[in-house]
Homo-oligomer: A and B are copies of this chain.
Amino acid sequence: MTASPIQDESRLCVHSITTKPWTIEEAAKYYAREGVAGITVWQNALEGRDPKIVGRMLREEGLTVVSLCRGGFFPASDAKGRQKAIDDNRRIVEQAAALGAPLVVLVCGAVPKQPLSVSRQQIQDGIEAIRPEAEAAGVKLGIEPLHPMYADFRSAVNTLGQANTMAEQIGSPSVGVVVDVYHLWWDPDLESEIERCGWNRHLFAFHICDWRVPTEDLLTDRELMGQGCINVPEIRGWVESTGFNGFNEVEIFSTRYWGEDQLEFLRKIKRAYRSAS
Contact = CB atoms under 8 A, between A and B. Distances in A.
B231 A115 contact: yes
A257 to B, nearest CB: 19
B215 A188 contact: no
B229 A112 contact: yes
B214 A153 contact: yes
A129 interface: no
A151 B185 contact: yes
Copies of this chain held together in the complex: 2
A188 B115 CA distance: 11
Contacts of A115: 231, 234
Contacts of A186: 116, 148, 151, 158
27 contacts: A112-B213, A112-B229, A113-B229, A113-B231, A115-B234, A116-B188, A120-B188, A147-B148, A147-B149, A148-B148, A149-B149, A149-B218, A151-B185, A151-B186, A152-B211, A152-B213, A152-B215, A152-B229, A153-B213, A153-B214, A153-B229, A158-B187, A158-B188, A159-B188, A162-B188, A214-B218, A218-B218
Interface size class of A (residues with CB under 8 A): 20 to 34
A218 to B, nearest CB: 6
Given A113-B229, A162-B188, A218-B218, A149 B152 contact: no
A113 B232 CA distance: 10
A117 B192 CA distance: 14
A188 B120 CA distance: 10
A229 B156 CA distance: 12
A117 B231 CA distance: 12
A148 B214 CA distance: 13
A120 B187 CA distance: 12
Contacts of A162: 188
Interface in A76-119: 112-113, 115-117
A229 B150 CA distance: 12
A117 B190 CA distance: 12
Interface in A3-17: none
A47 B231 CA distance: 38
Interface in A138-173: 147-149, 151-153, 158-159, 161-162
Contacts of A231: 113, 115
